[in-house]
Chains A and B, each alone.
Chain A
Amino acid sequence: MNHIQTQDTKSASLTASFGTTFWAALRFSLILIVICGVLYPLASTGLAQLLFPHQANGSQLKNSEGIVIGSELIGQSYTDPHWFQGRVSSIEYNAEGSGSNNYAPSNPELMKRMQASLNDWSKNNPDIPVNLVPIDLITNSGSGLDPHITNKAAEVQISRVSKLSGVSEEKLRNLIKEASQGRDLGIFGEPRVNVLKLNLALQKEMAGMSR
């Protein structure tokens, strides 16, 4: 008899403990949804907009007429060969999405795409041999939106851009220098050239010449 009683009280306390735990869990969950899911992001947005409005709104870049032409962090697609070209992007720099084809190193499609890029190169840059082409120019970036190329990759395009745009090679070298940046704090990341900034400067230069 005694034994049965203890069993009863035990199971009763277990159901009771499930009930209290569940209600406690529910109340804690709701308050955490409010704190972490609503208050925290809204407070962050408020502070960010107050302290760093330019960065918080996507580092937008304007042309000389003050019209927003993109973000300095998001690469663009340049069909006309008189522009400096950025990296390969399987999504054509459509920044509504992001991504790449994720070709494995052993995937035959990867080699096909690279061979096609090299053929294009030889057609557009007949005087620059393939062995001077840096690898970042013919590989797909991870995001498909990479705004940068290496300094080498910019310099190797000077001869073509100069011929097609009419801007002198020396001038172009200066523009590249202005659009390039070193490692962050001198340590982190890689030296690089922002292609959109470079082409924006090139556009300005060309407009000045035709006037």
Chain B
Amino acid sequence: MDLVQMLVVIGVIIVLVKPLGTYLYHVFSGESNRTDNIFGGFERLIYKLVGFKRREGMSWKKYAFSMIVTNAVLVGVSYLILRIQQFLPLNPNGMGNMESSLSFNTVISFMTNTNLQHYSGESALSYFSQMAVITMMMFTSAASGLCVAISFIRGLTQRGQTIGNFFEDFIKAHVRVFLPAALLVTLILVALQVPQTLDPTLTVHTLDGALQRISMGPVASLESIKHLGTNGGGFFGVNSAHPFENPNGLSNAVEMWSMWMMGAALPYTFGLFAKNKKQGWVIFSAMMILFLVFLSTVYFSEKAGNPAINALGIDAAQGSMEGKEVRFGIAGSTLFTTVTTAATTGSVNNMHDTLTPLGGMVPLVQMMLNVVFGGKGVGLMNMMMYAILGVFICGLMVGRTPEFLGRKIEAKEMKLIAIAILAHPFIILVPTAISFMTDLGQSAITNPGFHGLSQVLYEYTSSAANNGSGFEGLADNTPFWNITTGLVMLFGRYVSIIALLGVAGSLMSKEPIPETIGTLRTDNRLFVGILIGTVLLIGALTFLPVIAMGPVAEFLTLG
């Protein structure tokens, strides 16, 4: 039954790839199509309200600049709201203003699509902040990511000087993709028992006669965009493990489809832009193979359980249930864990800190590689980066100038790619080392032994990959952690985006060269192997030592 459940979830995603990928292509290709009739009027109204007329194409620099300025403005306004939420409307539970380093961390976290949370929603945010800051940023950061991915694809597949108009793409992403999808998923989730109310906390007398206070609020409208936008920040502290955020097996599946479908469909969209659908499927296959390997690892590890607990002589046939919910079991929990760290969402329906050592290694490694599907486009962009690197390495081996999609790969592109590839491990490993050298960092560790290393490593990996899940035992709401992870999230988001848009801009202005018999084909099975090999090789070279000291050492010493 576990297998059937997983296959159905994966199967639905595979079925969705083609229609959704085609839809995204129609929205952003610029050719007129049916979606214009449905959404065009609403968009024109928005353009009119803000007085936006000049929809000309932008160079990659102007595009990146417009995105960063927009994000900066949103960060500023949101920071202000969190600092004065006490005086704003819709605060029935009387929340106070948020402290400054925590506010800094929170707005960076949501703007960068990370959604690392050093606060608990039910005890730190007013309903207005949950809506106007958290829910709003879930839309805008997701739309920013999608715009960057689309413009990157345009740069790789088209010729000219401009990669599209940021503001036009940004509004289209909201109006034609995220808003309608979020409204639909919200209603499905409410039907499946996720609350959506503005009433304050409910107080009841329990069966046993005790007093129970139950937090609620506008949960479903946040829950839907949290997954569709691969944001991952929960309404409640425990995220999608909370019965109000994720009440049953079906809502669990709906949330997994919501966060996975966009990242899975984008390779197909890329194939349509490249006028080579096979190229899209090659990228998709490489991602799916890696996904299945990781899913199997965490599933079998959790099913086998914790040897120390199994030795107590209880009935442990279910597997390792510490930190998991009965309604999901091992299959629903491990599948969610694999999907959420593949899609860079970072929502959790079980506590990753309590996973068995090899089980907990899977989310960690997926975030380190950061190429297995990814959110709305980050995974695709990183995978393209590895594809170009793979072509480059193969080119060196046979002594030919490497080409990708008919353009020569030269020193400028490789330098930018090297920056993007090296930035990721740098902003993970250096802060991890620093926090071990200071008391401020060490004092946050709550689990002794090798697992303590994993806790710190996970926090920075999750920040750098803009994932946002955590080994949540870590006591991370201190100025030290708020500021360091805030900076890591910023660099993790914008360094690679700028470098890769630079690659796209540079490739776009090159003369295409005709394909010859000597060209390395990038749309066949051999290239799937080359791609996976490149990803694993680079990943292993960078991260193997630290993985050995954390999860592997814990595994070897347990039981």
Contacts and interface: CB of A to CB of B under 8 A. Distances in A.
B123 interface: yes
A135 B356 contact: no
Interface in B36-67: 46, 49-52, 62, 65-66
A31 B50 contact: yes
Nearest to B316: A135
A59 B193 contact: yes
Interface in B503-559: 554, 557-558
A167 to B, nearest CB: 15
- Interface centre among A28, A114, A199, by most chain B C-beta atoms within 10 angstroms, is A28
B8 A187 contact: yes
B133 A37 contact: yes
B73 A22 contact: yes
A78 B206 CA distance: 9
Nearest to B331: A190
Contacts of A145: 242-243
Interface stretch (B233-241, B287-295, B406-414, B460-468): B233-241
A12 B325 CA distance: 60
A114 B332 contact: no
B136 A76 contact: no
A55 B182 CA distance: 18
A147 B326 CA distance: 9
Contact of B140 (A21, A27, A32): A32
Given A37-B135, A55-B192, A114 B208 contact: no
B4 interface: yes
- Interface centre among A31, A56, A140, by most chain B C-beta atoms within 10 angstroms, is A56
A147 B243 contact: yes
A66 interface: no
Interface stretch (B155-163, B209-217, B270-278, B374-382): B209-217
A49 B196 contact: yes
Given A45-B221, A76-B212, A98-B238, A87 B207 contact: no
Given A38-B131, A99-B238, A192 B174 contact: no
Contact of A98 (B51, B122, B306): B122
B440 interface: no
A25 interface: yes
Nearest to A56: B196
B193 A106 contact: no
Contacts of B252: 188-189
A160 interface: no
A185 B250 contact: yes
A102 B218 contact: no
Contacts of A164: none
Contacts, number: 377
B195 interface: yes
Interface in B120-155: 120, 122-123, 131-133, 135-136, 138-140
A110 B214 contact: no
A107 B447 contact: yes
A194 B318 CA distance: 18
B309 interface: yes
- Interface centre among A55, A68, A203, by most chain B C-beta atoms within 10 angstroms, is A55
A36 B455 CA distance: 34
Nearest to B139: A36
Interface of A: 17-18, 21-22, 24-33, 35-38, 40-45, 47-49, 51-52, 55-60, 63, 67-71, 73-80, 83, 87, 93-108, 110-111, 114-115, 118, 130-136, 138-150, 152, 183-185, 187-190, 192, 196, 199-200, 203
27 contacts: A18-B69, A29-B77, A33-B77, A36-B225, A52-B190, A57-B199, A58-B195, A83-B207, A94-B213, A97-B215, A103-B322, A104-B473, A105-B451, A105-B554, A106-B449, A131-B314, A135-B318, A142-B351, A144-B238, A146-B326, A146-B327, A188-B5, A189-B249, A190-B249, A190-B327, A199-B207, A203-B207
Interface of B: 1, 4-5, 8, 46, 49-52, 62, 65-66, 69-70, 72-74, 77, 120, 122-123, 131-133, 135-136, 138-140, 167, 170-171, 174, 179, 182-183, 186-187, 190-199, 201-202, 204-208, 210, 212-216, 218, 220-222, 225, 236-238, 241-244, 247-250, 252-253, 305-306, 308-309, 312-329, 331-332, 348-351, 353-357, 446-451, 454-455, 471-473, 554, 557-558
Top 7 A-B residue pairs of the complex, sorted by shortest distance between their CB atoms: A189-B249, A102-B473, A37-B136, A188-B249, A142-B241, A37-B132, A48-B196
